[in-house]
Each structure stands twice: as structure tokens, then as C-alpha cells.
Amino acid sequence: MANSEPCGRGEPQVLGIAFGRSDTVRLGRPGFTILELLVAAAVFSLILVILAGIVSNTSALTRSAGDKISAFQSARAAFALLSANLSQATLNSYWDYDNPSTPARYLRASELHFLVGLAGTAPFPGTAGTGQALFFQAPLGFSQNATIPSLPSLLNACGFYVEYNNADALPAPFPTAPPRYRYRLMQALEVSENLSVYSSGNGSAWVNSAQAVPIAENVIYLAVWPRRSPADDPAGDLLTTSFSYDSRLNAKSIPQPITANQMPPVVQVTMVVLDETSAGRVCVDSLAPSVIRDATAGLFVESRATKFDDDLGILEARLSAAKLNFRVFSALIAVRESKME
């Protein structure tokens, strides 16, 4: 009889595994399939692409914001300088006989001159199509003699206008730089010792006697509007209807016009400035860019309140349509020495 014991009924059979046999069962190790690795790599690559795009866009926005801040800070400082100088304008007006030989009445008289006219048209310097040029005298205290102590009451001739030009070359031994054409807000200043406004027969030629230097880049338009205050003149056309002003015009007429040897109570100044990126894209050679000429064409001819607002809106729309980034600075500047009633 065989030496074996039957398994109990209903009890599970246990399979024995003999040690050393080749059919031993092994447990499987955890891992990834090739398909899973490929999917993970694709997702990781997509995340990297998205992150790179975000970093690139952020860097571009940062550079653009930096350019705008830098450009507009310079323009803001120049606008503040213009406002400060203009507010000090003077004519030193006085009453004098209408005719020294046969006097009949008194007239307002002055040796000084307050002028506003189109830039680039005689006698005004500047580039045509960039708005108005503004010239006047003010006690700014500039002298060419460095030994003279500070005298803040020294009278100077001063002017502002926009010119499209190349940057001044640096003197030797600096290397020659490539041309850099830009619109620039220029300040003309004539020192006290050389005031040519007093020269007999000079007329309005004195505006070209002052030395001009750029004080801000990418200023494409300067609108100068001599006027009464908006409260006294809501329509804005009592003093001028063409943005021009000449304190000597018809000064000998009887009766004198209200502008004769008088300055306007306020001057509305509006300045349009591009950012550097936009300026670099359109200012490519010695010719003023046509896109800027087209944007300002036909505008700011009539100095009336409603027309001015309409023209400014049209200019902004044209610049936006040309995909140019810009900023508008505007202020009503009170001329403190004005005696106009």
C-alpha cells in the first residue's frame, strides 16, 4: 500500500514548491512603459514651451514699459521746463506817445516781443507740420560770463519748437556713430549779453539768434494756443483763430488791437510724444516720416475749442491706426506778467 494520506474533503490543496527547481514563481517589478514615457516627455515639453513663451512675453513687456517710461519721463521733464519758462514771459510794457513829434494819445509800447507761429515757416525755425514755434523773453538768469554771480533777473530770449534732425555727432576722440534721426523738442536760448531783440530794425529775426539744443526726443507735435482763460472765453477764439500771436502786429494802429504789446493771459500747450520703439520704426532716414506727416495733415488750423478737441481726437485715431504708441501732454499755462484785461 502506498504511504500517502488523502487530503481532507473540502480542504484546499496546497501545491508544494520544491527548492532548487527551475519553475519557481518570481514577483514582477514596478516600471513605466515606453508609451507612458513618451506621453510624459510630450507633456513636459509642452510645459517648457508655455513657460518660455510667458518668459519671452514678460521680457518684451518689461523692455517696452522701460522704453516708454524712459521716453515719457524725458518728455515730461521737457514739458515742465517749457511750462516754467513760459510762465515767466514778460514784455515790460509801458505807455508812450503815439508820435514823439506831434503826440495825440498814449499807446502801449515795448521793446520786447511775444511770438507764436507755424514751425518751419519764416521767421520760425523747426520742421513744417510739427505745430507751432513759441518765442518770448523771460528773466531766466543765463549769462555767457561765468564770473558773473547768479542774477536771476537777467533777461533772456527763449523759444521752443519741434525739429526733425540727426543727433549731434560726439566730438573727437569718440568714434563716429551712425545717423540717428528723430523728432526732437528744441529749446532756443539767447544769453543776456546778446539780446538781439533790442536791435533796431531787427523785427522778428531775433528768433533765429538764439542757440538751440534738444531737450526731449520723439516729440512729434507741439500745439501752442494763446488764449484767454476758458472761463472768460469758452470758444477760445477772442485772441486768435489760427494759433498765431504777434505782440507787435498793428501795435501802432489807432485804436490798438488788444494783443498789441500785450501777452495772452494763458497759453494752452499740447505735446504729442511717441515711445522709442515706435519712433525707431518710422524714423529711418533724413526725410520726416510720411506716416507722421499724414497723421497731422490738415489738423490744428483753427484755434477754437470744439475744433481743437476734434482735431486732437483725429490725430490720436490716426496714430493708433498706424500702430504707434504715444502719449499726450497738455496744460493751460498762466502767463503771470500778462496785464490783459
Kindly tell me if the per-residue pLDDT of 88 is higher than 90: yes
Task: Check residue 64 and give its pLDDT.
Answer: 64
140, 156 Cβ separation under 8 angstroms: yes
Mean pLDDT on 298-310: 93
Tell me the torsion sign for CA atoms 329, 183, 207, 80.
Answer: positive
Confidence band for 16, pLDDT divided at 50, 70 and 90: very low
All residues at 6 or more sequence positions from 326 whose CB lies less than 8 Å from its CB, including other chains: 220, 272, 273, 274, 275, 278, 316, 319
Cα–Cα dist 25/35, whole Å: 28
Nearest alpha carbon to residue 220 among 69, 324, 65, 323: 324
36-45, 64-73, 182-191, 301-310: range with lowest mean pLDDT: 64-73
* Spatial distance between the Cα atoms of 92 and 112, rounded to a whole number of angstroms: 7
| Among the listed residues 206, 270, 209, the one whose alpha carbon sits nearest the alpha carbon of residue 236 | 270
pLDDT of residue 66: 60
Q: Of the candidates 324, 298, 323, which has an alpha carbon nearest to the alpha carbon of residue 311?
A: 298
CA distance 133 to 228: 19
